[in-house]
């Protein structure tokens, strides 16, 4: 054993596939029968891999169906013998004998082909199946007659195989080992000196078979020749070689061919019997002893053996024999379907992998030959995967386009492999691949924008509206939260108006709204998913406040005061339809709630005046006559059209007179004004009391002075002083008139026909909405660009006011 050269050849070639995983091959050569644990080769070093990579990649040896003789030691990065390898058991006669297997790494997937060639060791001596062979040879056998001997078998290969034979003694027979086609050595012994039964009736020979190994091993067999009496002719085969072909699936009993030999002798010496001499093949083939028909007795397998050589011995009973050779060719039948071995496969893959990512690696085996062993693999249709052949018998399934979990969350990949035999055989496997989610979809609102309505004077906390967004992703990536985006409405953060529930998207009012303060506004709601990083989208919601009839009409003209009396003047010459005045009112509500109508509620003379329902104009119905009272008092109700409606009343004083003094005289004793009358009475009583008091005081003073003077005159009778009555100068005029002095002012305000006026009104009957303009305090301005009533020549109104 020590002399055996242990050559280790390393052939290394690495190349990189376009698919992105390395594929390499390494070859080793070792002798058979190495002890368990012996080193085969340092594969990590030979492939240029780090030992850590072997561990992280879960390196393993993949041998398919066959037994594992060699194992991988990941710690040292070496291949070791796991099992004793017997070359003869592994390969039989096939040379060279090699183990093929793969080393697979994951993350990323790589695989390397390893070939370990097993060298032969001379561990088998040549052996004969029998220890003794018997021949009966007639003494008349001719010199040159040939006798087929059994071949020795040496299971070793090459130089260790069968090498030579020797036959001893060599007195009568010599050894002939002709080389025939196929390199088979059929040993024959040739009679080179006639036998003489009378001299020697039994010859014992020793056949030694030797191999070429070192040391040389040998096997022996005894050949016992019984010398018979004369038989002159040996059988002769009709052909030097018989050929037969048989399909591997031929049933037992099939006749392959018929061997025939003839013998010129007569009787038993010419009676030929056929036997198969190569015993190793008797289990498969059978020969009919009588007619030489060769039939199939066992089963054939093209994949195991394609070719048989049968040695048929045709012998007559006189002891002569001839060797006929039969060559049987086995024909291949497509009897093996491809076998699919999944080497590595992932059952979950992220939806964002690039096209070309390897999903599965497979090894396909079909032991049939030619077309029957050529395999083609396909995938089921309409899936984003393709199958490619990476090297002989290796296929990988890769993604060939982008995946989208939202479209398909799992795929059943059916791999079908067919061979090209006729008929074709196929097998298939189905892999289920789950696609895992990536946050690649933003939430989408059900509508591109929303509009919501809320009636003013709502209770705070009222839920107004719900926005909803959906997200096509899965689980956390699809969990939508709603967020109110910061913005401001009239300078106030929108969050002080509304709040959005993060989970449900319900929008709540935070405060009570007032239509007269704010009519509508926009807010922006963001929907955000729970992915990392999160995705979001926005939507605009328009909130419109709806009006309620919460404001009563306000009368702007005539102005109602408590301290003065205002009257409109109507000349006695006025015709029917004379415009007396116009009641102007506004309502800060809108629409129907601000649509005002005017009605006459009370009037001194209902037959004289009417009020325009729409425009509030007070006109005379008929011609004014002299009989009509100067003072006319009207009460007008202004009502809006809301539900329920609200109203206001206004009193209008009208004076029917031609001149101002007439009005004045009439209106001075506005004595039915109770307060005025009471005051007058009070002043009159007070004045009377003061006057009475002063008068009595004067009388008393005068009386006192008279009495005093009378006494004085009685004392000083001649005194001539004048007597002057005393009047306090302040009261002299007051006593003269007897009435209170009146002080009055006169003012005319032309409110509707003056362009300088800051009070402008639209037609009372129009539907215009009037709003308060802060720049014009206490005045009203019309918004619409409508022709102003003030420009119409037929409608000036003169309003006269009297202030007392
Ligand atoms: C894959 O196959 C399984 C089992 O047959 C089945 O339940 C599933 O629906 C299939 N999936 C697809 C996407 O066809």
Q: Is 347 touching ligand 1 by the criterion CB < 6 Å?
A: no
Q: Is 704 touching ligand 1 by the criterion CB < 6 Å?
A: no
- pLDDT grade for 773, boundaries at 50, 70 and 90: very low
Cα within 13 Å of Cα(256), Cβ side: 32
Q: Is 200 touching ligand 1 by the criterion CB < 6 Å?
A: no
Report how far residue 636's alpha carbon sits from residue 322's, in angstroms, rounded to the nearest whole number.
152
Report how far residue 489's alpha carbon sits from residue 517's, in angstroms, rounded to the nearest whole number.
12
Beta strands of 479-519 (E only): which ranges? 481-484, 488-489, 492-493, 498-500, 506-509
Q: Is 83 touching ligand 1 by the criterion CB < 6 Å?
A: no
Report how far residue 623's alpha carbon sits from residue 631's, in angstroms, rounded to the nearest whole number.
16
Tell how far the Cα of 357 is from the centroid of ligand 1, in angstroms: 22
Report how far residue 223's alpha carbon sits from residue 202's, in angstroms, rounded to the nearest whole number.
10
Helices and strands (H and E) in the chain: how many: 7, 56
296-342, pLDDT tens digit by residue? Answer: 988 888 888 888 888 888 888 877 788 888 999 999 888 889 999 99
Residue 758 pLDDT > 90, yes or no? no
Cross-strand pairs, 133 = 223
Q: Is 668 touching ligand 1 by the criterion CB < 6 Å?
A: no
- pLDDT grade for 772, boundaries at 50, 70 and 90: very low
At a CB cut-off of 8 Å and minimum separation 6, what does 183 contact? none
Report how far residue 590's alpha carbon sits from residue 583's, in angstroms, rounded to the nearest whole number.
19
Report how far residue 724's alpha carbon sits from residue 722's, in angstroms, rounded to the nearest whole number.
6
In ligand 1, the atom with minimum distance to the C-alpha of 409 is: 13
Mean pLDDT of 24-47: 87
Q: Find the radius of gyration of the CA atoms of the chain.
A: 68
Q: Is 446 touching ligand 1 by the criterion CB < 6 Å?
A: no
Q: Is 402 touching ligand 1 by the criterion CB < 6 Å?
A: no
User: Which amino acid residue places its CA nearest to atom 14 of ligand 1?
Assistant: 412
Tell how far the Cα of 379 is from the centroid of ligand 1, in angstroms: 15
Which among 92, 81, 101, 98 is positioned nearest to 37, based on CA atoms?
81
Determine which of 6-15, 216-225, 405-414, 548-557 has the lowest per-residue pLDDT on average. 6-15
129-161, pLDDT tens digit by residue? Answer: 888 888 888 877 888 888 888 888 887 777 787
Give backbone dihedrals phi and psi of 693, rounded to 5 degrees, phi first. Answer: -60, -45
Report how far residue 772's alpha carbon sits from residue 760's, in angstroms, rounded to the nearest whole number.
13
Asked if 218 contacts 211 with a C-beta cutoff of 8 angstroms, the reply is: yes
Tell how far the Cα of 476 is from the centroid of ligand 1, in angstroms: 25
Do the domains 13-119 and 444-546 sit in the same CATH topology, yes or no? yes
Q: Is 455 helix (H, G, I), strand (E, B) or coil?
A: strand
Tell how far the Cα of 35 is from the centroid of ligand 1, in angstroms: 50
210-262, pLDDT tens digit by residue? Answer: 888 877 888 899 999 888 766 667 888 898 899 999 999 999 999 999 999 88
Cα within 13 Å of Cα(216), Cβ side: 11
788 burial level (CB within 10 Å; 0-12, 13-18, 19+): middle
User: Which amino acid residue places its CA nearest to atom 10 of ligand 1?
Assistant: 412
Report how far residue 237's alpha carbon sits from residue 351's, in angstroms, rounded to the nearest whole number.
76
* Whole-number pLDDT of residue 677: 64
User: Which amino acid residue places its CA nearest to atom 6 of ligand 1?
Assistant: 412
Residues in the chain, total:
804
Residue 11 pLDDT > 60, yes or no? no
Q: Does domain 444-546 have CATH number 2.60.40.60?
A: yes
Q: Is 773 touching ligand 1 by the criterion CB < 6 Å?
A: no
| Whole-number Cα distances in Å, 59 to 52, 80, 110, 113, 357 | 10, 14, 9, 13, 20
Q: Find the DSSP H helices in 307-461.
A: 370-373
Strands 110-119 and 22-31: parallel
In ligand 1, the atom with minimum distance to the C-alpha of 432 is: 1
728-753, pLDDT tens digit by residue? Answer: 444 434 333 333 333 333 333 333 34
* Whole-number pLDDT of residue 23: 62
Q: Is 407 touching ligand 1 by the criterion CB < 6 Å?
A: no
Tell how far the Cα of 400 is from the centroid of ligand 1, in angstroms: 21
Q: What's the whole-model pTM score?
A: 0.49
Asked if 691 contacts 735 with a C-beta cutoff of 8 angstroms, the reply is: yes
| Whole-number Cα distances in Å, 791 to 434, 751, 770, 787 | 82, 13, 19, 7
In ligand 1, the atom with minimum distance to the C-alpha of 412 is: 1
3-state secondary structure 62-80: ECCCCCCCEEEECCCCEEE
Which among 757, 445, 711 is positioned nearest to 584, based on CA atoms?
757
Report how far residue 379's alpha carbon sits from residue 516's, in angstroms, rounded to the nearest whole number.
71
In ligand 1, the atom with minimum distance to the C-alpha of 411 is: 13
Asked if 465 contacts 507 with a C-beta cutoff of 8 angstroms, the reply is: yes
Residue 286 pLDDT > 80, yes or no? yes
Residue 390 pLDDT > 60, yes or no? yes
Mean pLDDT of the chain: 80
Q: Is 771 helix (H, G, I), strand (E, B) or coil?
A: strand
Mean pLDDT of 57-66: 82
Q: Where are the domains of the chain?
A: 13-119, 123-230, 233-331, 339-436, 444-546, 552-658, 659-670+713-804
Determine which of 182-191, 448-457, 718-727 has the lowest per-residue pLDDT on average. 718-727
Residue 103 pLDDT > 50, yes or no? yes
Report how far residue 790's alpha carbon sits from residue 795's, in angstroms, rounded to the nearest whole number.
8
Tell how far the Cα of 411 is from the centroid of ligand 1, in angstroms: 7
Tell how far the Cα of 397 is from the centroid of ligand 1, in angstroms: 19
Q: Is 486 touching ligand 1 by the criterion CB < 6 Å?
A: no
- pLDDT grade for 584, boundaries at 50, 70 and 90: very high
Which among 32, 29, 36 is positioned nearest to 213, based on CA atoms?
32
Q: Is 229 touching ligand 1 by the criterion CB < 6 Å?
A: no
- pLDDT grade for 565, boundaries at 50, 70 and 90: low
User: Which amino acid residue places its CA nearest to atom 8 of ligand 1?
Assistant: 412
User: Which amino acid residue places its CA nearest to atom 2 of ligand 1?
Assistant: 412
Report how far residue 260's alpha carbon sits from residue 361's, in angstroms, rounded to the nearest whole number.
56
Fold of 13-119: Immunoglobulin-like (2.60.40)
Tell how far the Cα of 380 is from the centroid of ligand 1, in angstroms: 13
Mean pLDDT of 433-445: 95
Alpha-carbon dihedral of residues 337, 341, 347, 352, nearest 10 degrees?
-90
Q: Is 430 touching ligand 1 by the criterion CB < 6 Å?
A: no
Residue 792 pLDDT > 50, yes or no? no
Q: Is 410 touching ligand 1 by the criterion CB < 6 Å?
A: yes
Q: Which CATH class is domain 123-230?
A: mainly beta
Residue 185 pLDDT > 70, yes or no? no
From the centroid of its chain, how far is CA 351?
A: 8
- pLDDT grade for 386, boundaries at 50, 70 and 90: very high
Cross-strand pairs, 498 = 509
Residue 624 pLDDT > 80, yes or no? yes
Pick 552-658's CATH classification: 3.50.50.60, 3.40.50.300, 1.10.3720.10, 2.60.40.60.
2.60.40.60
Tell how far the Cα of 412 is from the centroid of ligand 1, in angstroms: 6
Report how far residue 44's alpha carbon sits from residue 79's, in angstroms, rounded to the nearest whole number.
9
Tell how far the Cα of 681 is from the centroid of ligand 1, in angstroms: 111
Tell how far the Cα of 101 is from the centroid of ligand 1, in angstroms: 34
| Whole-number Cα distances in Å, 324 to 133, 232, 648 | 19, 19, 141
User: Which amino acid residue places its CA nearest to atom 1 of ligand 1?
Assistant: 412
Sign of CA dihedral 264, 269, 275, 279: negative
* Whole-number pLDDT of residue 564: 56
Tell how far the Cα of 598 is from the centroid of ligand 1, in angstroms: 79
Q: Is 697 touching ligand 1 by the criterion CB < 6 Å?
A: no
At a CB cut-off of 8 Å and minimum separation 6, what does 552 contact? 587, 640, 646, 647, 648
Which among 581, 580, 587, 579 is positioned nearest to 555, based on CA atoms?
587
Q: Is 59 helix (H, G, I), strand (E, B) or coil?
A: coil
Mutate to test the pocket of ligand 1, among 383, 429, 432, 434 (most ligand atoms within 8 A of CB): 432
In ligand 1, the atom with minimum distance to the C-alpha of 408 is: 13
* Whole-number pLDDT of residue 414: 95
Say how many C-beta atoms besides its own lie within 10 A of residue 73's C-beta. Answer: 16
Residue 727 pLDDT > 80, yes or no? no
- pLDDT grade for 579, boundaries at 50, 70 and 90: very high
Cis peptide leading into residue 595 (ω within 30°): no
Q: Is 434 touching ligand 1 by the criterion CB < 6 Å?
A: no
Q: Is 488 helix (H, G, I), strand (E, B) or coil?
A: strand
Q: Is 2 helix (H, G, I), strand (E, B) or coil?
A: coil
* Whole-number pLDDT of residue 444: 96
Superfamily of domain 339-436: Cadherins (2.60.40.60)
In ligand 1, the atom with minimum distance to the C-alpha of 410 is: 13
* Whole-number pLDDT of residue 197: 73
Residue 648 pLDDT > 90, yes or no? yes
Mutate to test the pocket of ligand 1, among 412, 431, 435 (most ligand atoms within 8 A of CB): 412
Residue 613 pLDDT > 90, yes or no? yes
Tell how far the Cα of 502 is from the centroid of ligand 1, in angstroms: 37
Pick 233-331's CATH classification: 3.40.50.1240, 3.30.465.10, 2.60.40.60, 3.40.190.10.
2.60.40.60
User: Which amino acid residue places its CA nearest to atom 3 of ligand 1?
Assistant: 412
What stretch of H or E contains 598? strand 597-603
Tell how far the Cα of 529 is from the centroid of ligand 1, in angstroms: 29
What stretch of H or E contains 670? none
Mutate to test the pocket of ligand 1, among 381, 407, 410, 411 (most ligand atoms within 8 A of CB): 410
Report how far residue 429's alpha carbon sits from residue 416's, in angstroms, rounded to the nearest whole number.
7
At a CB cut-off of 8 Å and minimum separation 6, what does 718 contact? none
DSSP state of 259: -
- pLDDT grade for 528, boundaries at 50, 70 and 90: very high
Residue 726 pLDDT > 80, yes or no? no
């Amino acid at each position: 054993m020590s002399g055996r050269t242990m050559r280790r050849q390393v052939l290394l070639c690495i190349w990189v596939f376009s698919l992105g995983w390395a594929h390499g091959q390494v070859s080793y050569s070792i002798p058979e029968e190495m002890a368990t644990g012996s080193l085969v080769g340092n594969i990590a070093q030979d492939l240029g891999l780090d030992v850590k990579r072997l561990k992280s990649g879960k390196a393993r040896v993949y041998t398919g169906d066959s037994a594992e003789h060699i194992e991988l030691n990941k710690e040292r990065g070496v291949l070791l013998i796991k099992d004793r390898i017997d070359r003869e058991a592994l390969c039989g006669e096939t040379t060279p004998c090699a183990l093929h297997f793969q080393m697979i790494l994951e993350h990323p997937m790589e695989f390397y082909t390893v070939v370990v060639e097993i060298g032969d060791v001379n561990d088998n001596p040549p052996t004969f199946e029998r220890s003794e062979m018997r021949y009966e040879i007639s003494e008349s056998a001719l010199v040159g007659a040939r006798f087929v001997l059994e071949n020795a078998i040496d299971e070793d290969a090459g130089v260790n195989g069968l090498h030579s034979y020797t036959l001893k003694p060599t007195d009568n027979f010599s050894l002939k080992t002709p080389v025939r086609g196929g390199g088979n050595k059929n040993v024959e012994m040739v009679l080179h000196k006639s036998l003489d039964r009378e001299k020697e009736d039994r010859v014992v020979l020793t056949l030694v078979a030797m191999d070429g190994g070192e040391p040389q091993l040998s096997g022996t067999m005894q050949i016992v020749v019984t010398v018979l009496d004369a038989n002159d002719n040996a059988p002769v085969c009709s052909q030097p070689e018989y050929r037969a072909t048989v399909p591997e699936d031929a049933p037992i009993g099939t006749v392959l061919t018929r061997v025939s030999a003839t013998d010129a002798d007569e009787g038993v010496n010419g009676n030929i019997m056929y036997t198969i001499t190569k015993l190793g093949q008797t289990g498969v083939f059978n020969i009919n002893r009588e007619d030489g028909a060769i039939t199939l007795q066992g089963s054939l397998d093209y994949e195991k053996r394609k070719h048989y050589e049968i040695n048929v011995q045709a012998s007559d009973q006189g002891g002569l024999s001839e060797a006929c050779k039969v060559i049987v060719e086995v024909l291949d039948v497509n009897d093996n379907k491809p076998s699919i071995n999944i080497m590595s496969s992932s059952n979950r893959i992220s939806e964002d992998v690039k096209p070309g990512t390897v999903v599965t690696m497979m090894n396909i085996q079909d032991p049939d030959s030619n077309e029957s062993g050529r395999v083609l693999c396909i995938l089921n249709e309409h899936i984003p995967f393709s199958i490619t052949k990476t090297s002989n018998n290796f296929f990988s399934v890769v993604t060939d386009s982008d995946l989208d979990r939202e479209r398909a969350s799992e795929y059943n990949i059916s791999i079908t492999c067919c061979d090209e035999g006729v008929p074709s055989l196929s097998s298939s496997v189905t892999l289920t691949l789950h696609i895992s989610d990536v946050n690649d979809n933003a939430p989408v609102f059900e509508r591109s924008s929303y509009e919501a309505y809320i009636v003013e004077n709502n209770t705070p906390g009222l839920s107004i509206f719900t926005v909803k967004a959906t997200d096509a992703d899965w689980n956390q990536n699809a969990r939508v939260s709603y967020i109110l985006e910061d913005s401001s409405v009239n300078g106030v953060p929108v969050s002080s108006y509304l709040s959005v529930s993060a989970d449900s998207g319900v929008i709540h009012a935070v405060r009570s709204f007032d239509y007269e303060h704010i009519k509508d506004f926009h807010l922006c709601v963001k929907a955000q998913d729970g992915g990392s990083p999160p995705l979001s989208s926005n939507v605009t919601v328009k909130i419109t406040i709806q009006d309620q009839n919460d404001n009563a009409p306000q009368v702007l003209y005539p102005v109602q005061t408590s301290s003065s009396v205002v009257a409109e003047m109507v000349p006695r010459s006025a015709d029917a339809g004379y415009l007396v005045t116009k009641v102007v009112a506004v309502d800060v509500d809108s629409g129907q709630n601000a649509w005002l109508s005017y009605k006459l509620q009370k009037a001194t003379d209902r037959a004289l005046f009417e009020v325009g329902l729409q425009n509030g104009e007070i006109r005379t119905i008929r011609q004014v006559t002299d009989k009509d009272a100067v003072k006319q008092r009207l009460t007008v109700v202004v009502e809006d059209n809301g539900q329920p409606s609200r109203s206001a009343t206004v009193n209008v004083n009208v004076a029917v007179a031609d001149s101002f003094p007439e009005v004045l005289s009439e209106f001075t004793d506005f004595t039915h004004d109770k307060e005025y009358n009471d005051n007058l009475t009070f002043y009159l009583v007070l004045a009377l009391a003061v006057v009475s008091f002063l008068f009595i005081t004067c009388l008393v003073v005068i009386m006192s002075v008279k009495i005093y003077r009378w006494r004085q005159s009685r004392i000083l009778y001649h005194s001539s002083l004048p007597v002057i009555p005393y009047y306090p100068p302040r009261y002299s005029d007051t006593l003269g008139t007897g009435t209170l002095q009146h002080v009055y002012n006169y003012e005319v305000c032309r409110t509707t026909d003056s362009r300088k006026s800051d009070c402008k009104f639209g037609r009372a009957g129009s539907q215009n909405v009037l709003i308060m303009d802060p720049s014009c305090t206490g005045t009203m301005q019309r918004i619409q660009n409508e022709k102003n009533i003030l420009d119409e020549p037929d409608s000036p109104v003169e309003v006269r006011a009297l202030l007392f």
